[in-house]
């Protein structure tokens, strides 16, 4: 049974259908949530800095394609895992290009196609695309890795930490506490202070900036949930996975 299901999810037609359905559902969510911006002039702050590195937490990523305005060009880093293929299909239907690979905590970019992905992200930024990626890495939710700091140092582009939350959602009981946003509620897009990494940043400064990014992402994510009336919505790194899979918060 498990083998049959695995083969199904790897089938090209299934991934195409799943990506189409996911994109259609996320459009419905975006269009039926009343979204506020914090700060209200967040686009005026960010646009002069473009291209930027857009940073967010794993599991809080589903609505991120919608921060892109039609005039913006953007790509997102997505893993090569079969689940990542569905995410990639959905992102492309929502007008966001993809870079396939994996981030990491530091120098070990050789895993999961990381070297090629890192180089492609640098090229993406050089071509004036915004580059979106999660700050944490698999199995270590809410702990920022050094990979994104290294990308900022190599590319010379600033990091823009942000979070999107909706008042209605389902949280899964998995490693990154994935939030599936639901329609017909309220939403908030919260941006944090932009982080710049000097080209000559040494290991100590890199670690300081990594911690700054981690703290900023925790702050904007908490604020986003508070602004939609869900102060209980953000689950930090140290919290147990107490919420069961499929638990709905309406």
Query: Residue 103 pLDDT more than 60?
Result: no
Query: Residue 46 pLDDT more than 90?
Result: yes
Amino acid 237: pLDDT? 66
Residue 80: band (very low, low, confident or very high) from pLDDT cuts 50, 70, 90: confident
Asked if 90 contacts 22 with a C-beta cutoff of 8 angstroms, the reply is: yes
What letter does residue 195 receive in the DSSP assignment?
A: B
234 in the Ramachandran plot: left (φ > 0), alpha (ψ -120 to 50) or beta? beta
Q: If you average pLDDT over residues 43-51, what whole number do you get?
A: 97
Query: Residue 87 pLDDT more than 70?
Result: yes
Q: If you average pLDDT over residues 185-214, what whole number do you get?
A: 98
Question: What is the pLDDT of the chain when averaged over all its residues?
Answer: 88
Flag the least confident range among 31-45, 103-117, 193-207. Answer: 103-117
β-strands 169-171, 179-181 pairing: antiparallel
Percentage of residues in the chain with pLDDT exceeding 70? 85
Residue 19: band (very low, low, confident or very high) from pLDDT cuts 50, 70, 90: very high
């Amino acid at each position: 049974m498990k083998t049959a299901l695995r083969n199904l999810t790897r089938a090209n037609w299934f991934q195409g259908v799943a990506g189409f359905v996911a994109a259609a559902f996320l459009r419905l969510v975006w269009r039926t949530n009343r979204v506020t911006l914090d700060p209200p002039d967040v686009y005026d702050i960010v646009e002069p800095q473009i291209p930027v590195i857009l940073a967010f937490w794993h599991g809080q990523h589903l609505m991120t394609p919608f921060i892109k305005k039609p005039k913006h060009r953007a790509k997102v880093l997505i893993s090569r895992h079969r689940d990542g293929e569905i995410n990639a299909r959905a992102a492309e239907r929502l007008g966001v290009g993809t870079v396939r690979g994996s981030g990491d905590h530091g120098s070990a970019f050789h895993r999961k196609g990381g070297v090629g992905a890192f180089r492609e992200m640098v090229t993406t930024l050089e071509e004036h695309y915004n580059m979106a990626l999660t700050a944490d890495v698999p199995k270590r939710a809410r702990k920022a890795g050094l990979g994104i700091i290294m990308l900022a140092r190599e590319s010379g582009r600033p990091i823009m930490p942000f979070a999107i939350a909706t008042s209605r959602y389902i949280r899964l009981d998995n490693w990154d506490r994935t939030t599936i946003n639901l329609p017909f509620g309220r939403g908030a897009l919260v941006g944090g202070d932009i982080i710049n990494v000097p080209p000559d940043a040494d290991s100590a400064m890199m670690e300081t900036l990594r911690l700054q990014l981690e703290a900023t992402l925790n702050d904007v994510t908490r604020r986003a949930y508070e602004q939609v009336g869900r102060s209980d919505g953000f689950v930090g790194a140290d919290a147990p996975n107490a919420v069961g899979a499929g638990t709905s918060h309406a």
